[in-house]
A and B are shown apart, each in its own frame.
Chain A
């Protein structure tokens, strides 16, 4: 059953269209832009949900809601969209987090018109990326994402914002070069006719050397985005400087684009190279868990510490992708969603509390739990979620990744034991830095020397944002089956390539 109504095109184009019309709004202060943006985001989210509810079959592992318009004749470039079980989760996550991020960005008053414009452009770019079925379209969406982030960073960031923004753009643009090489190499390989369609590319086979080169090119691009060590250093700087709503988008969605690409392109299109590289991915992921956790101790800056913790959590994702099992891959997808929620919430809460006490260094803080009990409660809950407390989504994701790695038939006994052991050491390190962070921020008592130091606890808007993120975290933690049911058939389809070899 194909619906000929171009739902996906509308979903992708609507935010950017609405964003461009933000200039026609009367200039009557920030309130207009705020409400306009939040309404657009909500409408988009509702539209997405509606489409997914009524025009999407969960039990079908094929691409649905497919659209195909030929844009450039000579180059075989199509506007080709479509979603499947793999992309539905990230798209919903994008809608959810972006809506909350626009809600969180209400205190932004400086040039708010441009700010919201950029947020909406990002929204389009992200949904377009997750729903594109064409390699070049994928690349274009990938690039479309960078410019708003760069501008958001360089205009609304902290003190060192220009440095961070430049670093960010150089890193990611450097990665994009490899992505472009990969895209073109893959598209132009076919001797008779060049193709950029995912479905046709999936059936194409390459010579081993070329496949490895292509894989490597894609991997570098995703390793920058994801991030995978040693290409992660842009992340703490960027997160340390960006405004917290930007951070929410960065941590919640942008980092997931790398992981999504890794599954979508590297696993689906280049299965042979992936099965060669997957042990290395697992090793790198294991190292990353420990390495990023240890760097996190050394960070004095609160936001940088959380950023390092999210690098550490990405390690589980990489391991899940590297263990070519059903379970591990499901865990990786769950980790995408779970970390999207938790990371965004942590950045939001740390950003709001930093703005209130006007300090960013952990050793200067202390004792703010008394004036701000609500932030304290929410922050503790999310630190618990982040350190994989059972009953919350992080635990399920990590547990499933653990099961994935031990049931993986690809690895031998000793490497498995070693990898599991090191991953579990990460489980000890995570609470140390997260809890000492919350101890340094909230526990203890401190007489603030600032005269008239009067801190307001989080208001209803902030409470709403954090509770909104908290509910899915708990929901996934208690009943993860629903999220699994979205992607399980698709993953089976992807993995069947590996066993037919």
Chain B
């Protein structure tokens, strides 16, 4: 028993060798490393499976015995400053590491096929393994500095992976945006850590909680300062988990490869913020203000994400907004004090969303040969439709994921979401109403995505329609990996030319200049084609892609069970509660009122069904034509009041499509002001500070020239000076003598 805990430090470091050997291999012996590329994938999956076994073992021990193990060793020792590194195994850690390793294995398997034709295949696996290392390190860390270290490493991995296809300018700016916004969060986190270090003199969790609670209890500390510090800590969580003011990076992060979106930007990394809140909950609970703030931010994010997901045209962007909204749910849960529900929804959402993202990746892969290798086209739901015929397995899995996210009973998310909804009803009715309303919205937008993708018939021919409608840019078509790659294998060059008509698909109406600039992207194409396919219809992906999907379907279906109360002998209790007994002892006598549960469940399920129904009216196959894409077009048929409605719907549609104008606002306010400041300071630096120096230099030059002129060696000027001074001297002498 004990020795498993002793060796638990190995968990984060298991995937690390892959990263290091791939990195050094690529730098030093690139050819040899590339020749055995499939081997690396196998090794990384193997190592991650070992992690999974380890964490499963730990989880079982936590369920049975549930005690907390901590090990520390010193990192730096100074006279009055010492940092300790160590690891902490508690229920939270075991849940998170199990989650990360299972989703990670699925995603690695999937990406072996998904990325197999990419030139950056090895780089991808190196980044992925490093991400797994740092994420596992984050969840096992035992003090705040360690959390901060891995927190930033995770952010860096996210940066590298969003900018994975670095030849796309839009990916380049997206990854920079993600990093900078995450850095804002790190700024808060670091300041919060420093603040608490100053208050308590400790960084280790349990000491910290104890000391802070004592201090607050005895009123020995400036309460406002504590609130400030907790707010700053929470800022870190806000940025990482894409909560309201700082959520803008997540939709842009979809520029990365799809497996990344599934692993990092849906399942694990964005859960790091929640993890931090959950970890620090004993601290936050002592301060009611911060709990209110957490729940407020959660509810804002919840509704905002859901509304913004309504009108996205890109399949991954709409899934990203749905992630934002679901993260709002998860953040709301600790804010209203239900720690258990937060973790439960975190788990179920991670599996469902990973399933959905991997499904969307499969769809994208099957669409790519048909419409072209630009994310504007292959991810565009306008061009999809009717894929049920072509990709049946993906469709089934995607449908199950959608239903799970909507909260339809037997599937996982139903149980967890329902728990959050019930708890929010106890906390505040207004929050509960918003949360319930959002379940309807969730059902609506998720089903919209599903219907647009799989229902009706294939709308590839709308490509030309949409292109003619929009303004055209002249852009050249270049492969992701540049010209050389294009020259090497271009058996499909006619096809490339076919797609490279100089038109760019564009939704915006021309009033949003800034957004236009974002859209104004060059289109890039993969050069690697699957020659065996015909390009008329999409095809189902290969088995290595489908297998992780099916496994995730299994998870999505059964993972809800861990939260469902079983009759186990005398007392009711479920695995999750048993798992989590340690942090909150009062949870152990958690019992379920089945009647209340059913009423709540019926209410939320009926809301979801209502949402599904509306979505199927709007986007269902009855009206399956391009016009149904916009909400506007539905109201065109409504009759006399249509102009007002039209305008309202137009506004809502544009608002939702443009991400609530928050991006534009940030661009206009922060980016522009920082640029102005930089310009001003550069001007100051160059003209004034440097100017003074240059003026001194120049003036000394002129003075020197003047003196040179004076001392030029002409006897007449010497004589003139001599006699003038003699005469002055004589004059003075004369004055004084008289």
A interface with B by C-beta (< 8 Å): 166-167, 170-171, 229-230, 233-234, 291, 294-299, 326-327, 330, 367, 369-370, 374, 377, 380, 384, 389-391, 395-396, 399-400, 402-403, 406-407, 413, 420-421, 424-425, 427-428, 431-432, 435-436, 439, 442-445, 447, 463, 467, 479-481, 484, 488, 492
Q: Are A443 and B689 in contact (CB under 8 A)?
A: no
Chain A residues near B149 (CB, 8 Å)?
Answer: 390-391, 395
Q: Are B167 and A443 in contact (CB under 8 A)?
A: yes
Q: CB-nearest residue of chain A relative to B165?
A: A443
Q: Are A424 and B190 in contact (CB under 8 A)?
A: yes
User: Whole-angstrom distance between the alpha carbons of A484 and B76 in the complex?
Assistant: 8
User: Whole-angstrom distance between the alpha carbons of A425 and B166 in the complex?
Assistant: 28
Q: Of B167, B168, B179, which is within 8 A of A370 by CB?
A: B167
Partner-contacting stretch, out of B51-59, B181-189, B304-312, B364-372: B181-189
Q: Are B180 and A389 in contact (CB under 8 A)?
A: no
Q: Of A370, A424, A479, which is within 8 A of B191 by CB?
A: A424
User: Whole-angstrom distance between the alpha carbons of A389 and B79 in the complex?
Assistant: 25
Task: For chain B, give the interface size range.
Answer: 35 or more
Query: Which of B160, B187, B478 has the largest number of chain A CB atoms within 10 A?
Result: B187
A-B contact pairs, 24 of them (CB 8 A): A167-B693, A171-B693, A291-B685, A326-B80, A369-B167, A374-B27, A377-B26, A403-B81, A403-B197, A406-B198, A424-B187, A424-B190, A427-B183, A427-B187, A428-B187, A431-B183, A432-B180, A436-B176, A443-B167, A443-B172, A444-B169, A447-B476, A447-B483, A481-B77
8 Å CB contacts to A: which residues of B465-518? 476, 478, 481-484
Q: Are B180 and A298 in contact (CB under 8 A)?
A: no
Chain A residues near B225 (CB, 8 Å)?
Answer: 413
Chain B residues near A447 (CB, 8 Å)?
Answer: 476, 478, 483
Q: Are A298 and B681 in contact (CB under 8 A)?
A: yes
Chain A residues near B478 (CB, 8 Å)?
Answer: 445, 447
Q: Are B76 and A297 in contact (CB under 8 A)?
A: no
User: Whole-angstrom distance between the alpha carbons of A442 and B163 in the complex?
Assistant: 11
Residue B697 at the chain A interface, CB threshold 8 Å: yes
Chain A residues near B197 (CB, 8 Å)?
Answer: 403, 406
User: Whole-angstrom distance between the alpha carbons of A490 and B26 in the complex?
Assistant: 43
User: Whole-angstrom distance between the alpha carbons of A396 and B148 in the complex?
Assistant: 12
Chain B residues near A296 (CB, 8 Å)?
Answer: 678
Chain A residues near B169 (CB, 8 Å)?
Answer: 443-445
User: Whole-angstrom distance between the alpha carbons of A311 and B78 in the complex?
Assistant: 28
CB A306 to nearest CB in B, in angstroms, measures: 15
User: Whole-angstrom distance between the alpha carbons of A229 and B167 in the complex?
Assistant: 38
Q: Are B689 and A484 in contact (CB under 8 A)?
A: no
Q: Are B187 and A297 in contact (CB under 8 A)?
A: no
B interface with A by C-beta (< 8 Å): 26-28, 75-81, 145, 148-150, 152-153, 156, 159-160, 163, 166-169, 171-173, 176, 179-180, 183-184, 186-187, 190-191, 194, 197-198, 225, 476, 478, 481-484, 522, 524, 674-675, 677-679, 681-683, 685, 689-690, 693, 697
Q: Are B481 and A298 in contact (CB under 8 A)?
A: no
CB B520 to nearest CB in A, in angstroms, measures: 13
User: Whole-angstrom distance between the alpha carbons of A330 and B78 in the complex?
Assistant: 9
Chain B residues near A327 (CB, 8 Å)?
Answer: 78, 80-81
Q: Are B156 and A389 in contact (CB under 8 A)?
A: yes
Starting from the known contacts A370-B482, A377-B27, 16 additional A-B residue pairs (CB-CB under 8 Å) come to A229-B689, A294-B681, A294-B682, A297-B682, A326-B81, A369-B167, A389-B156, A395-B152, A420-B194, A425-B187, A427-B187, A428-B184, A439-B172, A443-B166, A445-B167, A481-B76
Query: Which of A369, A395, A428 has the largest number of chain B CB atoms within 10 A?
Result: A428
User: Whole-angstrom distance between the alpha carbons of A354 and B179 in the complex?
Assistant: 26
CB B634 to nearest CB in A, in angstroms, measures: 40
Q: CB-nearest residue of chain A relative to B76?
A: A481
Chain B residues near A166 (CB, 8 Å)?
Answer: 697
Q: Are B194 and A402 in contact (CB under 8 A)?
A: yes
Q: Are B198 and A435 in contact (CB under 8 A)?
A: no
CB B367 to nearest CB in A, in angstroms, measures: 23
User: Whole-angstrom distance between the alpha carbons of A266 and B180 in the complex?
Assistant: 38
Are A297 and B678 also in contact (CB < 8 A) when A432-B180, A443-B166, A444-B169 are? yes
User: Whole-angstrom distance between the alpha carbons of A347 and B225 in the complex?
Assistant: 42
Q: Of B28, B75, B166, B187, which is within 8 A of A442 by CB?
A: B166
Chain B residues near A445 (CB, 8 Å)?
Answer: 167-169, 478, 482, 522, 524
Q: CB-nearest residue of chain B relative to A485?
A: B77
Q: Of B150, B167, B180, which is within 8 A of A428 by CB?
A: B180
User: Whole-angstrom distance between the alpha carbons of A425 and B180 in the complex?
Assistant: 12
Chain B residues near A369 (CB, 8 Å)?
Answer: 166-167
Q: CB-nearest residue of chain A relative to B694?
A: A167
Q: Of A403, A420, A431, A443, which is within 8 A of B180 by CB?
A: A431
Q: Are B77 and A427 in contact (CB under 8 A)?
A: no
CB A78 to nearest CB in B, in angstroms, measures: 34
Chain B residues near A229 (CB, 8 Å)?
Answer: 689
Q: Of A297, A377, A391, A395, which is within 8 A of B675 by CB?
A: A297
CB A240 to nearest CB in B, in angstroms, measures: 12
CB B24 to nearest CB in A, in angstroms, measures: 9
Q: Are B183 and A428 in contact (CB under 8 A)?
A: yes
User: Whole-angstrom distance between the alpha carbons of A393 and B91 in the complex?
Assistant: 33
Q: Of B79, B186, B675, which is within 8 A of A427 by CB?
A: B186
Are A435 and B176 also in contact (CB < 8 A) when A327-B78, A443-B163, A445-B167 are? yes
Q: Are A233 and B693 in contact (CB under 8 A)?
A: yes
User: Whole-angstrom distance between the alpha carbons of A166 and B698 in the complex?
Assistant: 12
Q: CB-nearest residue of chain A relative to B522?
A: A445
Q: Are A407 and B78 in contact (CB under 8 A)?
A: no
Query: Which of A298, A436, A484 has the largest number of chain B CB atoms within 10 A?
Result: A298
CB A230 to nearest CB in B, in angstroms, measures: 5
Q: Are B27 and A444 in contact (CB under 8 A)?
A: no
Q: Are A233 and B153 in contact (CB under 8 A)?
A: no
User: Whole-angstrom distance between the alpha carbons of A384 and B156 in the complex?
Assistant: 8
Chain B residues near A326 (CB, 8 Å)?
Answer: 78-81
Q: Of A167, A402, A435, which is within 8 A of B190 by CB?
A: A402
Q: Are A484 and B681 in contact (CB under 8 A)?
A: no
Q: Are A370 and B186 in contact (CB under 8 A)?
A: no
Q: Of B27, B184, B476, B682, which is within 8 A of A298 by CB?
A: B682
Q: CB-nearest residue of chain B relative to A290?
A: B681
Q: CB-nearest residue of chain B relative to A398?
A: B190
Are A391 and B681 also in contact (CB < 8 A) when A297-B674, A367-B167, A406-B197 are? no
User: Whole-angstrom distance between the alpha carbons of A160 and B176 in the complex?
Assistant: 33
Chain A residues near B675 (CB, 8 Å)?
Answer: 297
Q: CB-nearest residue of chain B relative to A435?
A: B176
Chain B residues near A402 (CB, 8 Å)?
Answer: 190, 194
Q: CB-nearest residue of chain A relative to B160?
A: A380
Chain A residues near B689 (CB, 8 Å)?
Answer: 229-230, 233
Q: Are A484 and B78 in contact (CB under 8 A)?
A: yes
Chain B residues near A384 (CB, 8 Å)?
Answer: 156
Q: Of B80, B145, B180, B679, which is within 8 A of A407 by CB?
A: B80
Q: Are A427 and B522 in contact (CB under 8 A)?
A: no
Chain A residues near B159 (CB, 8 Å)?
Answer: 435
Q: Are B677 and A294 in contact (CB under 8 A)?
A: yes
User: Whole-angstrom distance between the alpha carbons of A233 and B190 in the complex?
Assistant: 32
Q: CB-nearest residue of chain B relative to A378?
A: B27
Chain A residues near B153 (CB, 8 Å)?
Answer: 389-391
User: Whole-angstrom distance between the alpha carbons of A166 and B482 in the complex?
Assistant: 44
Q: Are B679 and A298 in contact (CB under 8 A)?
A: yes
CB A99 to nearest CB in B, in angstroms, measures: 21
Q: Are B173 and A439 in contact (CB under 8 A)?
A: yes
Q: CB-nearest residue of chain A relative to B173?
A: A439
Q: Are B681 and A291 in contact (CB under 8 A)?
A: yes
Q: Are A431 and B179 in contact (CB under 8 A)?
A: yes
User: Whole-angstrom distance between the alpha carbons of A402 and B144 in the complex?
Assistant: 15
Q: Are B190 and A427 in contact (CB under 8 A)?
A: yes
Chain A residues near B76 (CB, 8 Å)?
Answer: 396, 400, 480-481, 484
CB B660 to nearest CB in A, in angstroms, measures: 23
User: Whole-angstrom distance between the alpha carbons of A407 and B82 in the complex?
Assistant: 13
Q: Of B26, B152, B191, B194, which is within 8 A of A390 by CB?
A: B152
Chain A residues near B145 (CB, 8 Å)?
Answer: 399
CB A38 to nearest CB in B, in angstroms, measures: 22
